[in-house]
């Protein structure tokens, strides 16, 4: 059993025994015996089912924003990228400050398909991850590591950026044409929590119900803007898409724009508001 697992279990047992939290959202090993899945530990016995390894892909903060959990004191196991979600969600008042974040030093998550067995290559987000120690957590499990050199997180964008606007438009049309509007991307995204998403609103009806090219474009364009300055780059939306639309490209591009323009990375600082909610005098100069 890894030190991380021992550490998490000890911490969670303690939190539950002290009744500091009602329950803890963490990971356990799934029914395939390999891949981790979300798990809710309510008792100290259940705490011993918790695991942590390189298959813990889900961003568990997603559960905290569910309406039925309002009013509960919850603990949550977070990787560094998940911790960034937590920061964004806290700033957006999605849950009270007394949520207990159990941050885990993250070794990186591997790519797997449902069938499993396609090697142990790290996920794209992990290849560019420069933050393996979770920021601003209540409890830290694991040794804080010096952050090693990483691939350029925007390298993936270069081929698309080299294209003309028309080519890019054609590329995305092709992608969006396949979209089923199953909304799995939205459901998994921790930053998507509206009780009524614009995509399903009927009065006014921003996006037509039809699954067609124009409607699909509109859904993705608006969602993308709703995440500008808020997307923390977990790439979960891309991972869950059943038809493999590279949503990570879209969101990463916006992350890049926000970084270039406002020197802002969502979730890395709790004392700063997202750039699209604030205005600094210097900004007006090049917003042409």
Partner 1 sequence: MARVGVFICHCGSNIAGVVDCAAVASAARRMPGVVHAEENNYACSEVGQAAIRTAIKEHRLNRVVVASCSPRMHEPTFRRTVAMAGLNRYLMEMANIREHVSWVHGDDKPAATGKAIDSVRMAVAKVIRDERLTPGKVGITKRALVIGGGIAGIQAALDIANAGHEVILVEREPTIGGRMAQLDKTFPTLDCSACILTPRMVEVGQHPKIRLATTAQVEKVSGFVGNFEVTIRHRAKRVDHSVCTGCGTCWQKCPEKVPSEFDSGLGKRTCIYIPFPQAVPNKPVIDWANCRYQRYLAASGAEKKPPQCRICEKLCPAGAIRFQDEDSVVTEQVGAIVVSTGFQAFDHSAYPEYGGGRYKDVISCLQLERLLCASGPTGGEVVRPSDGKHPKTVVFVSCVGSRDDRVGRPYCSKVCCMYMAKQTILLKEHDPEVQAYVFYIDIRAGGKDFEEFVRRSQEEYGALWLRGRVAKVYEEDGKLIVRGEDSLVGRPVEVAADLVVLATGIEPSAGADALARTLGVSYNDYGFIVEAHPKLRPLESNTDGIFLAGTVSGPRDIPETVAQGSGAAAKVIGLLNQDELVTDPMVSRVDPLRCSGCLSCREVCPFDAIGSELLRDGRTAAKVNESSCKGCGLCVVTCRSGAMNLRGFTDQQLLAEVVAITR
Binding site for ligand SF4 (CB under 6 A): 179-186, 188-189, 191-192, 194, 197-199, 223, 226-227, 231-237, 240-243, 245, 247, 251
CB 202 to partner 1: min, Å? 11
Please, which of residues 73-102 interact with partner 1 by CB under 8 A? 92-94
And the tokens for 81?
């990228």
Under rule CB under 8 A, residue 183 binds partner 1: no
Nearest-angstrom CA–CA distance, 233 and 220: 16
Residue number with CB closer to partner 1 (79 or 94): 94
- With contacts defined by CB under 8 A, how many residues of the chain interact with partner 1? 23
Residue 241: which of ligand SF4, partner 1, none does it interact with, CB under 5 to 8 A by kind?
ligand SF4
Which range binds partner 1 by CB under 8 A, 2-10, 115-123, 139-147, 200-208? 200-208
Shortest distance, CB of residue 184 to partner 1, whole angstroms? 19
Contacts of partner 1 in 38-67 (CB under 8 A): 67
Interface with partner 1, residue 71, by CB under 8 A: yes
Using a 10 angstrom Cβ sphere, with 0-12 exposed, 13-18 middle and 19 or more buried, the burial of residue 221 is middle
Q: 25: Cβ–Cβ under 8 A, 6 or more apart, which residues?
A: 38, 39, 40, 60, 63, 64, 74, 75, 76, 77
Query: Are the beta carbons of 217 and 173 closer than 8 angstroms?
Result: yes
Instruction: Tell me if 209 contacts partner 1 by CB under 8 A.
Output: no
Query: In angstroms, what is the minimal distance from the CB of 269 to ligand SF4?
Result: 17
Radius of gyration over every alpha carbon of the chain, rounded to an integer in angstroms: 20
Per CB under 8 A, which of residues 222..251 are in contact with partner 1? 226
Task: For the chain, give the number of residues.
Answer: 288
Residue 49 vs residues 25, 105, 265: alpha-carbon distances, Å: 12, 19, 34
Residue carrying the six token digits 């918790």:
50
- Mark 256-275 with x for binding to partner 1 (rule: CB under 8 A) and - for no binding: -----------------xx-
Residues 6 or more apart in contact with residue 226 via CB below 8 angstroms:
192, 198
Q: Which does 255 bind (CB under 5 to 8 A by kind): partner 1, ligand SF4, none?
A: none
Helices vs. strands in the chain: H and E counts, helices first: 11, 5
Note whether 52 and 6 are within 8 A (CB): no
For position 276 contacting partner 1 by CB under 8 A, the verdict is yes
Which residue ranges make up the site for partner 1 (CB under 8 A)? 67, 70-71, 92-94, 193-198, 201, 203-204, 206, 226, 273-274, 276-278, 281
């Amino acid at each position: 059993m890894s030190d991380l697992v021992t550490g998490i279990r000890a911490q969670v047992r303690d939190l539950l025994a002290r009744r500091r939290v009602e329950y803890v959202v963490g990971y356990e090993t799934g029914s395939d015996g390999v891949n981790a899945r979300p798990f809710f530990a309510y008792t100290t016995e259940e705490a011993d089912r918790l695991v942590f390894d390189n298959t813990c892909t889900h961003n568990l903060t997603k559960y905290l924003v569910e309406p039925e959990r309002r009013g509960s004191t919850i603990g949550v196991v977070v990787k560094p990228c998940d911790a960034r979600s937590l920061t964004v969600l806290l700033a957006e008042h999605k849950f009270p400050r007394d949520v207990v974040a159990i941050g885990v030093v993250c070794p990186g998550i591997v790519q797997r398909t449902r069938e499993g067995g396609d090697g142990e290559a790290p996920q794209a987000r992990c290849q560019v991850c420069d933050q393996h120690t979770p920021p601003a957590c209540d409890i830290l499990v694991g040794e804080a590591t010096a952050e090693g050199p990483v691939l350029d997180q925007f390298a993936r964008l270069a081929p698309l950026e080299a294209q003309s606007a028309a080519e890019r438009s054609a590329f995305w049309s092709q992608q969006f044409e396949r979209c089923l509007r199953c909304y799995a991307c939205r459901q998994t995204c921790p930053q998507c929590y509206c009780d009524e998403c614009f995509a399903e609103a009927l009065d006014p009806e921003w996006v037509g119900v039809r699954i067609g090219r124009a409607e699909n474009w509109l859904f993705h364009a608006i969602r993308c803007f709703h995440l500008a300055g808020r997307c923390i780059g977990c790439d979960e939306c891309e991972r869950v898409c059943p038809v493999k639309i590279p949503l990570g490209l879209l969101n990463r591009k916006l992350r890049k724009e926000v970084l270039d323009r406002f020197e802002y990375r969502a979730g890395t600082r709790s004392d700063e508001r997202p750039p699209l909610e604030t205005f600094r005098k210097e900004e007006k100069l090049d917003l042409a």
